[in-house]
A = this chain, B = another copy of it.
């Protein structure tokens, strides 16, 4: 892991890094106790690790909760080159979407599954590298958050990665491999469903939510189109502080 830049503003230290072919960013509190939890923050498809809403959420987790947040560019996103096959898939599902072709869902799911197969070992290498940092360490509680394509990555990641102990997913596009992976995820889960999304039917979200064997899970559904997460507090159950912080701040809310 090689840090390539470091800046600091409003209580947040931002360090970009490379790790082999990976490009990523680590946000940390300027000061705070050691042992602060680590959030793995996946970005949705078509965006990247520095997308403004993604950065804003990371900053909030750092300043409000005192967490570290790490994000990496998904394969073919941000600072990483896109393969010919990925370009073909993206053109195909954009065309299918424009045509109202019902094959859209299948093509998007295949693309997401392919990205996930590559991204899971990348996230595992990222965890290895980040917990090797002395200010973080191997005992830190770890959560994963990511919607859409980042759920298609995060669900199989969480299925094979015992270091992740709480996860917030949402509106992933349907495919069988994802349902199979969900059946192996028994940690606390929040699952978000935007009910007005035309592209990903709500029924798939319900099916995926049911598939998680977690006892401690909640589905949060709201009237919104794709990629619009309400930020007015209505989805905020203090999920990561409740599950990752030693001092549960829920009762103080």
**Interface presence of A232 (CB below 8 A):** yes
CB-CB under 8 A from A253, the residues of chain B are 236, 238, 249-250, 252-253
**Interface presence of A219 (CB below 8 A):** yes
Known: A219-B222, A220-B218, A221-B219. A234 touches B237 (CB 8 A): yes
Known: A195-B210, A210-B195. A233 touches B219 (CB 8 A): no
**Interface presence of A215 (CB below 8 A):** yes
Q: Cβ of A235 and Cβ of B234 under 8 Å apart?
A: no
- Residue-wise, chain A 217-253 has the 8 Å CB interface mask toward B (1 for contact) of 1111111000000101111111100100000011111
Q: Cβ of A221 and Cβ of B221 under 8 Å apart?
A: yes
CB-CB under 8 A from A251, the residues of chain B are 64
Interface size in chain A (residues, C-beta < 8 A): 30
Complex Cα gap A242–B233 (Å): 8
Q: Cβ of B216 and Cβ of A234 under 8 Å apart?
A: yes
**Interface presence of A93 (CB below 8 A):** no
Residue of B nearest to A191 (CB): B221
| Pick from B217, B236, B239: contact of A223, CB under 8 Å | B217
**Interface presence of A209 (CB below 8 A):** yes
Complex Cα gap A222–B223 (Å): 18
Known: A221-B209, A249-B253. A237 touches B242 (CB 8 A): no
New contact pairs (20) apart from A217-B222, A236-B238, A252-B252, CB-CB < 8 Å = A190-B234, A195-B210, A215-B223, A216-B234, A217-B223, A217-B234, A218-B220, A218-B222, A218-B230, A218-B234, A219-B219, A219-B222, A221-B221, A232-B242, A233-B242, A233-B250, A234-B237, A235-B237, A236-B250, A238-B253
The 3 closest A-B pairs by CB, nearest first: A253-B253, A219-B221, A233-B250
